[in-house]
Amino acid sequence: MRRRTLLVSLTLLTTLACAACGSGSKPPAQSTLRGTVLSPPTDAPGFTLRDQANRAVSLRGERGHYVVVTFLYTHCPDVCPVIAGNLNLALASGAGRRARLRVLAVSVDPARDTLTAVRRYVVRHRLLPTFHYLIGARTSLARVWREYHVAASAGPRATVSHTAFELLIDPRGRERLAYDSTVRAAWLEHDLDVLARQSSS
């Protein structure tokens, strides 16, 4: 219920952000953490899907790493490439490397997000090997969508209307922070450093 309420808020923010695409967005007000804190932290729902290398990737298998879970599709004309680019920058950052950050991007378009399409997307956007673009049969993906309260449906002009957000999961597999579609690499870098200091104190 807590995540559902949060995601409704993030979806509204995403809608506003999409309407303002191209006009720029302001960073959130200064605070200890840039993401929305999920308190108390709860275990993220587990799943196993295949990535662009056709390898089975499970959320549980990423224990010991910070992980961002998000939902994208390769034919997205606007928001998804921006999200992917910012998450990729976070992976390449010093904070991302220190946190052993991983990205698990779950497809919301099983019909068109084939292994070939996803491999082309990874190359075109120069995504790092620690960015796992996860695909599968609709039944497998739909289960993950339900667990994370993600809505995905056909949109206008061959697009997919879907809930756009990012969850930061800690090395113990707990949901810690949430971001909307306006997420910036610098925000993740900042939060990873803050969380690292908190865990060492």
Domain that holds residue 161: 2-7+34-191
DSSP H/E element including 18: helix 2-19
Q: Which two tokens stand for residue 165?
A: 């957000």
Work out the burial of residue 72: count CB atoms within 10 Å of its CB; fewer than 13 is exposed, 13-18 middle, 19 or more buried. buried
Whichever domain contains 75, its CATH number is 3.40.30.10
pTM of the model: 0.85
Residue 150 resides in a domain: yes
Residue 98 resides in a domain: yes
Specify the amino acid at residue 142.
Answer: A
- DSSP character string of 19-87: HTTTS--PPPPP-S-SSEEEEEEEEPPP-EEE-TTS-EEESGGGTTS-EEEEEE-TT-SSHHHHHHHHH
Residue 17 resides in a domain: no
Residue 182 resides in a domain: yes
In order along its 201 residues, the chain shows pLDDT tens digits of 455 455 544 543 443 333 333 334 444 444 589 999 998 999 999 999 999 999 999 999 999 999 999 999 999 998 999 999 999 999 999 999 999 999 999 999 999 999 999 999 999 999 999 999 999 999 999 999 999 999 988 888 888 889 889 999 999 999 999 999 999 999 999 999 999 988 886
